[in-house]
Amino acid sequence: MPWTMNDYPSSLKNLDRPVKKKAIDIANSMLDDGYDEGRAIPIATEQAKEWYSNASKQEVNEFMEEEDPKSRDGGKSSSDPELMEKAELVEAHEDGWAVRAKSAKKPDVVYDSKSEAVERAKEVAEKKGTEAIIYKKDGTVEKRHSY
């Protein structure tokens, strides 16, 4: 049974609401990928805390507006722990410039300006120790920044 904001492991009860929600989301994804509950909970908790410490207020607000985690569909989500090791991409998006982890299906955040997106991608990539790959509007690589 997937965890929800109303039904979650007791070890998550003292977390701030956004961290708890993210931890539930990550843990549900990990369970879909075959992780044991005993491993998924502490890993998801650490990943959620790291996400929260690196996330902008806008990212946290947008995440909190999303539907509460409740179903595990077996697909990869943007909270997949494996994505923590992937490069950050900056790509043209219908609403501006998107920042997403390589292999993620949807962007973490979309900015109006490319410079804001590049700044955020570099910041996240540096904290993850990966790289930021910046694309031009035509889809070709403009620049790579390794950390």
Whole-model pTM: value is 0.49
pLDDT in tens, 25-68: 888 888 877 778 888 899 999 999 999 998 899 989 988 888 87
82-126 residue pLDDT tens: 555 678 999 999 999 999 888 777 888 899 999 999 999 998 888
Least confident of 8-12, 23-27, 74-78, 114-118: 74-78
d(CA 67, CA 130): 30
Greatest extent of the chain over all pairs of C-alpha atoms, in Å: 48
- Please check whether residue 101 is in contact with residue 87, taking contact to mean a CB–CB distance below 8 angstroms: yes
**How far is Cα 27 from Cα 30, in angstroms, rounded to an integer?**
5
- Residue/partner pairs of 33-42 with CB below 8 Å, 24 or more apart: 33/80, 37/9, 41/9, 41/11, 41/12, 42/11
Query: What tokens does 100 get?
Result: 């997403």
